[in-house]
Structure 1
Amino acid sequence: MPTFRITDCFGEQVTLQPRLGLYSVTDFMGQEMPGLAIILDRLGSTPEETEQYAVLTTSFGEFISIKDCAYIDTNNCYFAPELLEQGIAENTGLTKRSGFCEYPLWHFKEDFLREIGGDAYEKYSRSFHSYMQKGPFGGPGPVEEPKSQMGGMRMK
């Protein structure tokens, strides 16, 4: 299980261990789906001293149609750039604004999510793939039509 060292607001080094939970989110038609919740536990000298430190991700209650992505709670996780530098994710450049805060959308590496998530990640992944295959209205997802003589491709 990976661990991360960050500097807290007092300048002290803190060791964090991530684990994956799932948010309940809905698509634009109201279908419930799992969303990624990355919880960071502060490791103590014994397992009994380990406690939840922060939740790195934040949910706006909506389904994100890009697999392995979540908004980052930079409002409460000032140390998020330190985690990004450690290679767990890539910043997509997309953000969501809420009030005076802007939350970046990160794309997490699948091997990282599998390592910290186990069964929770498998549930998320199965649900995501099932949803994307059937399409948002219950029918088949996008299909490719044969290319025309002009060489173009259309999506149905």
Structure 2
Amino acid sequence: MTYTITDLFGNDIRVKPRVELYSVRDFMNTELPGLAIVLDEVDADSNPIDEYAVLTVSFGEFIGLKNSAYIDVNNCPFAEQLLKQGIAEATPFSKESGFCSYPLWVFKEDFLKEHGGSNYKQYTSACDEYMEYINSMFGGPEENEENELTLGGM
């Protein structure tokens, strides 16, 4: 599937996303894959012409919220157009760096499966295994008597 965005000059650009992987680390310095969304400009037949932009930005840290990544709105001012086309959902979280604020989006699983191939399979497998390990080490989420989600053992 391709998406159409309008650049700063008012030109319509057709892009096709692909999922790549960043190398990130958790708080214990364990190396894990992080999501990178690359946008390739495509012609009328959806054949790639050239890499147009990297939609996401990595701060080198593992993001525990599955299927999420920070969005490079500094270099991708059109990002909101893709959000409106339903590829992801915005969260109230962002990361500050310099004079920029990078919002955290959660990408739709269908979008990632369609454009991710083996990279998305590698990411989701590593993420699931990691979260299972963390839950086994620290007790995992539990519901208390008032049905509020709390961390086990705390």
Q: TM-score, normalised by structure 2?
A: 0.89
Q: Output the CA distance in 2 between the equivalents of 1:100 and 1:129.
A: 34
Gaps of 5+ in 2: none
Contact 1:132 1:141 in 2 (8 A): no
Q: TM-score, normalised by structure 1?
A: 0.88
* Aligned positions of 1:1-156 closer than 5 A: 2-44=1-43, 50-135=49-134, 140-143=137-140, 151=145, 155-156=152-153
Q: Which protein has the bigger strand share?
A: 2
Q: Does the C-alpha gap of structure 1 residues 104 and 50 become closer, same or farther in structure 2, counting only changes over 3 Å?
A: same
Q: Output the CA distance in 2 between the equivalents of 1:146 and 1:86.
A: 35
Percent identity over the alignment? 50
Which structure's CA Rg is the greater one? 1
Q: Output the CA distance in 2 between the equivalents of 1:21 and 1:11.
A: 28
Contact 2:2 2:46 in 1 (8 A): no
Amino acid at match of 1:104: P
Q: Output the CA distance in 1 between the equivalents of 2:51 and 2:101.
A: 24
**How large is the RMSD of aligned CA atoms in angstroms?**
2.2
Gaps of 5+ in 1: none
Contact 2:34 2:62 in 1 (8 A): yes
